[in-house]
Amino acid sequence: MSFVRGIGAGDPFLLFSLTLDARLKKPTSKKKILNSCGGTIVKLGTARHHDTLLDRMDSLDLPGCFAMTELGHGSNVAGIETTADYDEKSKEFILNTPGNDASKYWIGGAGQHGKLSTVFAQLNVKGIPRGVHVFAVRIRDDAGGGVRGVEILDHGSKAGLNGVDNGQIWFRNLRVPRESLLNALADISPEGEYSSPIPSAAARFGATVGGLTTGRVLIASAAVEGVKLAAVIALRYSARRPQFGDVIILDYLTHANRLAPALAAGYAYHLALGRLKSLSGKLRERGGRLRERERVESFFLSRSSEREKRERVFCFLLTFFSVSLSLTFFLSLSSKKNNPPLLQQQSKPTPRPRTTAACPRPKTPRRSTSSLRA
């Protein structure tokens, strides 16, 4: 199995390894190219796309980008405005960007290097809207030059992650062949007849965007690894760094209270992510030839086995134990600072009260009232 095929197939161990590699080493655009663009082609395309595109993507001879987000719509994929009209005479799709809000915006890999793009567009066949479909579109030639009908703007340098060249794309009556449609969920015959194994438009749309779940899992994985690394670095440093003599800063209650929630969250997130990775592996094993949406529904709607119930209880108990252990550790530090041991209290000498000789005050003789009157 090639690297791109493994990513697109949703292998959880390969996905998590790629996330760790991209996070611990320098950021590159390879993760974006292989996961989003190549994964979409694997899941939504068929043999005619796999045989001609994936090997070239695997060797980075054909770097790709994932063109879904539009300037005026963001994550509202159902509301995108980019159109793809099927021309029966030429047997081609005509892609258009009707306005600036419909331009593909902040597309990773499109600014300088992307040659292939998976473009999400509203499909129209014989004047009938068929909803959002995905097309494999060349946006640059093999030499990296421009393609007629495609305009690209490089967004330039950013505050971080400059290994990914984000860009903006407009389509001006771009003609692509009929085979550019990723036809695993829907297809069009040369005569212009639309067909799909999923009769419901809503279910078809859900299956189309279902591949985005993999990207969300990768983002969560990178965030959890960041929390774990930060907690380990902070704890090791505070356990060795002295302040005001030989007292390490972890002994100070205010410093320990800051680190306790991060440590507990790291344990909880790690266990939850492991459970999610396990679910991803089971979905992949049980899925077979079922579509992404059908696999998710069949798994979560099926009755859980006794083994899965035991796993849930074990994860809950382990999380509870790790959080309790962290809180107990920091509470013990607090009690040691506020309540010193009894031996230390008894060893301290009791101070004696200071005695001072009282000086007698001289008595002032009082005069009688009779003498005052005289």
Best CATH choice for the domain 3-210 from the list 2.10.109.10, 3.30.450.90, 2.40.110.10, 2.60.120.200? 2.40.110.10
As given in the structure block, the two tokens for residue 270 are: 């790690």
Residue 156, Ramachandran bin (φ over 0: left; ψ between -120 and 50: alpha; else beta):
left
Q: What confidence score (pLDDT) does residue 275 get?
A: 83
As given in the structure block, the two tokens for residue 38 are: 């190549």
The tens digit of pLDDT for each residue in 212-241 reads 776 777 778 888 888 899 999 999 999 999
Q: What confidence score (pLDDT) does residue 201 get?
A: 87
Query: Residue 61 in 3-state DSSP?
Result: coil
Place of tokens 């490089």: 154
- C-alpha to C-alpha distance for 279 and 131, rounded to whole angstroms: 30
- C-alpha to C-alpha distance for 159 and 147, rounded to whole angstroms: 30
Domain ranges for the chain: 3-210, 213-291+308-337
pLDDT below 50 — which residues of the chain?
1, 3, 6-10, 12, 22-34, 287-293, 295-301, 303-304, 341-347, 369, 371-372, 374
Q: What confidence score (pLDDT) does residue 295 get?
A: 47
Query: Residue 292 in 3-state DSSP?
Result: helix
Q: Pairing mode, if any, of strands 116-125 and 64-67? A: parallel
Q: What confidence score (pLDDT) does residue 222 get?
A: 82
Q: What confidence score (pLDDT) does residue 30 get?
A: 44
Q: What confidence score (pLDDT) does residue 88 get?
A: 93
195 closest CA partner among 135, 136, 128, 137? 128
Q: What confidence score (pLDDT) does residue 344 get?
A: 46
- C-alpha to C-alpha distance for 141 and 119, rounded to whole angstroms: 16
Q: What confidence score (pLDDT) does residue 122 get?
A: 97
34 closest CA partner among 215, 263, 203? 215
Q: What confidence score (pLDDT) does residue 323 get?
A: 72
Q: Which amino acid would we find at residue 365?
A: P
- In the predicted model, what is the mean pLDDT of the chain? 78
Q: Per 3-state DSSP, what percentage of the chain is helix, strand, and coil (rounded to 5)?
A: 50, 20, 35
The tens digit of pLDDT for each residue in 109-119 reads 999 999 999 99
